[in-house]
C-alpha cells in the first residue's frame, strides 16, 4: 500500500497551510553557515521529534515527549554552527516574545514563553574561520524572513544548508510535498549534511531517485551518469585530504501536515520520516551524525485529532507519505546544490561531479543505459 500522491502547488513544505519558512545565511569571507526558521500559525503546532543520530545537538526536545506538558510549539529552528549555532534560537525567541506568541503564563497577554525546539548540524570552519557560527542576530533575521511576504527559496545552499556537505559533495536544503489521498498535505524540509553519501557508488545515481516524482527532477529528467564521471568521482574521493573526510555532520529537518494529530502521533510521524533519510543517505544515523527530525501538525486547537486505532489507513497513508517526502526532499537538496570554494577547500555539487546525469538521455529521463 503506497500513499504516493501528487505534489502541492510549490512542491515544498509551504504547501502545508499555516507554515512559513525563512532563511538567513552568511557567505562573506570566512563564513559559510546559516539558520532556517519554520513558523507554524500563531496558535502554534502540535509537535513531536525523533533523534536517531549518535551526536545530536538540540534544544527543547525533551519537552516534546508525549508524556510531558506542552503540546504546541511556536517555531522550529534548524541551523549550522554545531552547538555554538544554538545561539541563533535566542533571536527567534525574542522576536516571538515581542509579538506575544508563546505558552501563556498568566492573565497578561504579554506573559508568554515561546516554545522553540531546535537542532543544529556541523559546518564549523567550512567558510575558513572555525569560530564563525550563527548567532541571535542571524536567528532573528531568519525569523523576519519567514514573516516577510517575499518568496522564500526552499531548495539549495541556503539557511541551515549553506555550509552543508554530504558524502564529499555539497549538500543544502531540500523540500517537497505530497497531497494525501484522504485529504491533507504532508511537506518536508531537510538540511542535508551527512557523513554518508547520497550517491550510489556503483552507478553515480542518487540513492533517493526511485522515490521521486517528475516535479522533483529537472525538466529534461536525469540519466545514469557516464562511466567516466563515475571513475573521476572515485579518483577524487580516493585523493581527498583525510581531514576533509572528518566524520562530523548531521541531517536535520521538519515534516509538517495539516492533518490533526496528537503529540504522540507526531512523534510517530517523526520516527517513520527517518525511513526517508535511510532511503536517500547511506549510511545514515551514524555515531558522527546527529540526525534529528521534527513533526508538526498545524491543525487548529479545536480540530479533533483522529485516533490511529480507529483511522488506521489514513494514518498509514500519512506515515508512508512522510518517509517518501523526506527522501524526495533529500534528492532535491542535492540537485539544487552549487559548488563552492573557501579557504577550507572545495565542495563540488552533484551537478559538477556528474554532469552526464543532466544530459538528455537517449532512452528518456532516467535512462538505464550508460
- Higher-confidence residue of 267 and 360: namely 267
Q: CA-based angle 335:234:247, to the nearest 5?
A: 75
- Work out whether the CA dihedral 353, 354, 360, 366 comes out positive or negative: negative
Mean pLDDT value across residues 83-102: 98
Contact 284, 251 (CB under 8 A): yes
Question: What is the distance between the alpha carbons of residues 197 and 130, in angstroms, rounded to a whole number?
Answer: 24
pLDDT tens-digit map of 309-360:
667 889 999 999 999 999 999 999 999 999 999 999 999 999 999 999 999 6
Residue among 182, 206, 226, 138 at smallest CA distance from 3: 182
Q: What is the CA radius of gyration of the chain?
A: 20
| C-alpha–C-alpha distance, residues 24 and 35, integer Å | 5
For 53-68, write each residue's pLDDT tens digit.
999 999 999 999 999 9
Which residues does 194 contact at the CB level (< 8 Å), separation at least 6? 166, 167, 171, 249, 250, 251, 281, 284, 289, 291
C-alpha cell belonging to residue 33: 553557515
Q: Could you give the CA distance from residue 22 to residue 14 in angstroms, rounded to a whole number?
A: 11
pLDDT for res 330: 99
Of the pLDDT bands very low, low, confident and very high (cuts 50, 70, 90), residue 248 is confident
Burial class (CB within 10 angstroms; exposed 0-12, middle 13-18, buried 19+) of 345: middle
How many other CB atoms are found less than 10 A from the CB of residue 238? 7
Rounded Cα–Cα distance for residues 217 and 328 (Å)? 10
CB atoms within 10 A of CB 40: 24
pLDDT for res 363: 47
Class of domain 13-358: alpha beta
Task: Count CB atoms within 10 A of the CB of residue 366.
Answer: 17
Given this model, what pLDDT does residue 281 score?
Answer: 99
Res. 2: pLDDT tops 60? no
- Looking at residues 125-134, what average pLDDT do you find? 98
- Give me the sign of the Cα torsion angle 164, 170, 171, 176: positive
Distance, in Å, from the CA atom of 93 to the CA atom of 116, rounded to the nearest integer, reads 7
Q: What residue segments make up the domains of the chain, in order of their start?
A: 13-358
> pLDDT class for 245, splitting at 50, 70, 90?
low
Amino acid at each position: 500500500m503506497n500513499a504516493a500522491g501528487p505534489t502541492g502547488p510549490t512542491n515544498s513544505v509551504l504547501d502545508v497551510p499555516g507554515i512559513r519558512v525563512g532563511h538567513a545565511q552568511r557567505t562573506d569571507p570566512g563564513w559559510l553557515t546559516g539558520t532556517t526558521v519554520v513558523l507554524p500559525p500563531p496558535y502554534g503546532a502540535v509537535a513531536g521529534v525523533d533523534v536517531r543520530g549518535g551526536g545530536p545537538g538540540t534544544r527543547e526536545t525533551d519537552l516534546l515527549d508525549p508524556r510531558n506538558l506542552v503540546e504546541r510549539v511556536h517555531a522550529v529552528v534548524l541551523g549550522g554552527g554545531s552547538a555554538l549555532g544554538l545561539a541563533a534560537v535566542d533571536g527567534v525567541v525574542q522576536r516571538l516574545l515581542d509579538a506575544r506568541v508563546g505558552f501563556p503564563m498568566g492573565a497578561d497577554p504579554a506573559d508568554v514563553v515561546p516554545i522553540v525546539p531546535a537542532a543544529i548540524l556541523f559546518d564549523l570552519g567550512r567558510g575558513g574561520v572555525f569560530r564563525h557560527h550563527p548567532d541571535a542576530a542571524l536567528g532573528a533575521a531568519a525569523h523576519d524572513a519567514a514573516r516577510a511576504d517575499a518568496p522564500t527559496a526552499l531548495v539549495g545552499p541556503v539557511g541551515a544548508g549553506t555550509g552543508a556537505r554530504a558524502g564529499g559533495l555539497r549538500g543544502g536544503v531540500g523540500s517537497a510535498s505530497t497531497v494525501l489521498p484522504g485529504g491533507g498535505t504532508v511537506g518536508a524540509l531537510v538540511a542535508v549534511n551527512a557523513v554518508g553519501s547520497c550517491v550510489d557508488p556503483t552507478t553515480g545515481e542518487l540513492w533517493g531517485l526511485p522515490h521521486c516524482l517528475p516535479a522533483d527532477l529537472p525538466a529534461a529528467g536525469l540519466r545514469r551518469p557516464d562511466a567516466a564521471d563515475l571513475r573521476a568521482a572515485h579518483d577524487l574521493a580516493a585523493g581527498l585530504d583525510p581531514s576533509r573526510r572528518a566524520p562530523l555532520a548531521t541531517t536535520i529537518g521538519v515534516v509538517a501536515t495539516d492533518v490533526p494529530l496528537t503529540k504522540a502521533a507526531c512523534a510517530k510521524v517523526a520516527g517513520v520520516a527517518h525511513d526517508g533519510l535511510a532511503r536517500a543517505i547511506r549510511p545514515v544515523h551514524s555515531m558522527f551524525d546527529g540526525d534529528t527530525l521534527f513533526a508538526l501538525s498545524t491543525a487548529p486547537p479545536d480540530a479533533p485529532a483522529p485516533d490511529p486505532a480507529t483511522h488506521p489507513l489514513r494514518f498509514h497513508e500519512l506515515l508512508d507519505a512522510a518517509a517518501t517526502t523526506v527522501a524526495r526532499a533529500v534528492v532535491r537538496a542535492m540537485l539544487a546544490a552549487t559548488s563552492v570554494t573557501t579557504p577550507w577547500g572545495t565542495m563540488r555539487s552533484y551537478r559538477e561531479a556528474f554532469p552526464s546525469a543532466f544530459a538528455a538521455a537517449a532512452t528518456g529521463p532516467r535512462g538505464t543505459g550508460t
